[in-house]
Amino acid sequence: MMSTILLAALLAFLGPAMQDSGQRIIGPGVQFPDAPGPRPQFEESPTIRSVDGVLKATLHMRKQEVQAGEQSLITTSFNGRYTGPILRLRPGDLLELTVINDGDMNTNIHFHGLQVSPDDYGDSVFTIIPIGHQYTYRFRIPEYHHPGTYWYHAHPHTMTQRQVMQGVAGTLIVEGELERWPELKGITERNCVLHDYQKGLTGEVVQGIQISWPTYRLVNDQKFPDVPIRPGETQLLRLSAQGANIYYHLDFGGEKFWIVNTDGNPVNEMREVERFALPPGSRVDILVQFRTPGRYKLHTSEIRTGPAGDGYSAENLLTMVCAGDAVGKPIDLPLKAQGPSPLRDLSKVKVDNARTIVFNETDNDFRIDNRYFDSTRIDQLVKWGTIEKWIVRNSTDELHVFHFHQTDFQVVKITGKDVPFNEHRDNINLPVRGEVEVIIPFDMPCQIGDYVFHCHILCHEDGGMMQKVRCYDPARPMPPIRPGDGYGPIEDDSHLPLQSASPNALGGPFVLQDADGKPFTEANLGDTLALMSFGYTECTGACPRTLAIFAETDDDLDVESATRPPLKFVFVSVDPARDQGKKLADYAQAAPVPLIALCGTPEQVLKASRTFGVAYEPQPKRADGSYSVRHSTDIYLVGPGGRIFKRFALNTDPKEIAAAVREFAPRVPVKAAAAAEGAAR
């Protein structure tokens, strides 16, 4: 009886996938027939656009039931859908993206292909958003940034594959890529997210790839959608491979299409093709035009990724339904772009350094240069302002995908064969037992700092096929290398915050000392509100920013000086070895607001930090005896008894903090009276 029930459940689980699989046909131009039944009409994900140069959006990550093709799916994704919203902005715009993590795993966001800073609040894969936390990424798209199709996705090491398959991803579009071809102004654009998942027997996305299980492939959460197009009409399709591992080899059954952008980079010249290989993580923007009415299927051929690799069946993805009134005067493609090429031909630039990188693997893991990824190790030290040639070699019997963060590169050779200049990439396929020669420029501000390159087959990345790059500015002083750092110098870590030790800490009583060594407790704050931060006086990163926030909050409250709520500003040093006496007093004296500066014994500081959920970590001493202290950077609004009313991230708008002060101020006397009444009882 139990076997019968299990067999029935398995057949119900496999049924839709078996119907979708259809025939397995290899080769270009040969496609599946239409699946039986009506096809869904093409829809795009919700779109959020910048307004007055700012794009503000919130991505709420939580476990939920979503519609994925013809099925419902239990998964952890953004804003109630399997595919995240489309973010559209222009060069020069500011992005403020808040991620609320109500999921079941720590997470973060990588802005794949964007050339923005890898520091905090930018495109840092070393930032982690713990469960129950929220975090706001805030950075400006450079004015010189190339327009094109990019995407954002989770990037926590060892969990990237799982989260991307669950749907923690979405499209980001930098506007303006068709402006080089005025003839294309106003044409219809289609954003086509190629995504896939495997579904377990419980209805949830599987935690790891199951080789023998079916894989469901979707376009914008739809299965085989129909896309309307008129005879002779030209449309732009933005095709992005946002799945965890799957390759695509795309064609329209022998019909021509035209490439205008690869991996967010405009092509030097519009290129006419009949097929295009799209590895995981890559994007290609194409123009399509069909003169004769009919159904033209975007199709991917059957693919094997090598003797030791994986296999993916052929499948139709969408159908361009060419019908209706023909366009009176179709655009003649390809077009010649106006103005100079926005790309440099890096093959003609003097190379300052060359290095060889080898992708390899063992029976147990994946590696680069025979080393498993370690985030504390610097694998490649690069001097900013240089141009480098990298030979990236694949020593294995399966395909890999070389993806570089923060910058693009130009492919000049593939396994010894010259590649004509026409495009830049951030993602390129590595042939089995072959190699790719690329030129990488390290001369933009966004490249200074720590970031990574890796295989964008995400199960390989999670399995260890990733390395850390440090690009340093030779004009800046460089502290000596610390043991275990690997190759490179290390910058001052004081601006690199830790996550809070306890995001649910409530605050409460504490005992510290002021600059005169006198005891200072929560009772000294009285019955007024206080903004409290933890740091140290020699901090050159977070703490000056915190004091600036204090000052701006103070200014905002002064606007209504007649009704200004009482507010104190408190700084607690987590560096008791140095921050005592005159040094603490001088720090308070130099602050832009009346500042209460506190410290204490190591034991007192530790206890107060635990009360407020603060994390801090003194770093190893340098050769001159100096050191920095990494610390969490939350700002606390506290009331009577030292209780936390609200906490703020370091990038919070001071106006928001001032608004919270006004909100909670009327409650303070009530809370104080209630506390006194309770104590009397």
Question: Would you give the distance in Å from CA 498 to the centre of its chain?
Answer: 19
Paired strand residues for 1: none
Q: What is the rounded average pLDDT for all residues in the chain? A: 87
pLDDT on residue 481: 42
Per-residue pLDDT tens for 624-659? 777 888 888 899 999 989 999 999 988 788 999 999
In what helix (H) or strand (E) does residue 231 lie, and over which residues does it extend? none
Tokens standing for residue 490: 């290390």
pLDDT on residue 11: 35
Between CA 263 and CA 151 the distance in angstroms is 10
**Nearest by Cα to 647 from 613, 674, 670:** 613
Under 8 Å between Cβ of 314 and 26: yes
Phi, psi of 356 (to 5 degrees): -115, 130
Paired strand residues for 195: 218
Cα–Cα–Cα angle for 496, 502, 507, nearest 5°?
110
- Range with lowest mean pLDDT among 204-213, 443-452, 533-542, 638-647: 204-213
Per-residue pLDDT tens for 111-169? 999 999 998 889 999 999 999 999 999 999 999 999 999 999 999 999 999 999 999 99
Between CA 513 and CA 535 the distance in angstroms is 15
**Nearest by Cα to 496 from 631, 349, 377:** 631
Between CA 172 and CA 151 the distance in angstroms is 5
Is 0.75 surpassed by the pTM of this model? Answer: no
pLDDT on residue 512: 97
Q: Is the peptide bond before 156 cis (omega within 30 degrees of 0)?
A: no
Between CA 475 and CA 452 the distance in angstroms is 23
Residue entry with tokens 């006496």: 581
pLDDT on residue 215: 85
pLDDT on residue 495: 41
Paired strand residues for 287: 236, 258
Tokens standing for residue 281: 């993580």
Q: Which domains does the chain have, with CATH numbers?
A: 47-322 (2.60.40.420), 349-489 (2.60.40.420), 511-680 (3.40.30.10)
Tokens standing for residue 51: 């307004």
Question: Which residue type is seen at 307?
Answer: P
Q: For the chain, give the percent of residues with pLDDT over 70.
A: 88
Give the pLDDT band of residue 387 (cuts 50, 70, 90).
very high
Per-residue pLDDT tens for 161-178? 999 999 999 999 999 999
Per-residue pLDDT tens for 74-116? 999 999 999 999 999 999 999 999 999 999 999 999 999 999 9
Best-predicted range by mean pLDDT (209-213, 348-352, 639-643, 674-678): 348-352
Give the pLDDT band of residue 673 (cuts 50, 70, 90).
very low
Under 8 Å between Cβ of 39 and 319: yes
- Range with lowest mean pLDDT among 272-281, 495-504, 665-674: 665-674
pLDDT on residue 559: 56
Q: Kindly write down the DSSP assignment for every residue of 246-266, as one continuous string.
A: --EEEEBTTB-EEEEEETTEE
DSSP 178: G
Report in angstroms the alpha-carbon separations of 391 from 358, 435, 603. Answer: 8, 7, 53
Under 8 Å between Cβ of 640 and 520: no
Count of CA atoms in the C-beta half-sphere (13 A) of 112:
29
**Nearest by Cα to 399 from 373, 432, 367:** 432
Between CA 341 and CA 553 the distance in angstroms is 47
Per-residue pLDDT tens for 499-520? 777 778 889 999 999 999 999 9
pLDDT on residue 400: 97
Under 8 Å between Cβ of 40 and 78: no
Tokens standing for residue 36: 């039986």
Count of CA atoms in the C-beta half-sphere (13 A) of 361:
22
* Helix, strand, coil shares, percent, the chain, to 5: 20, 40, 45
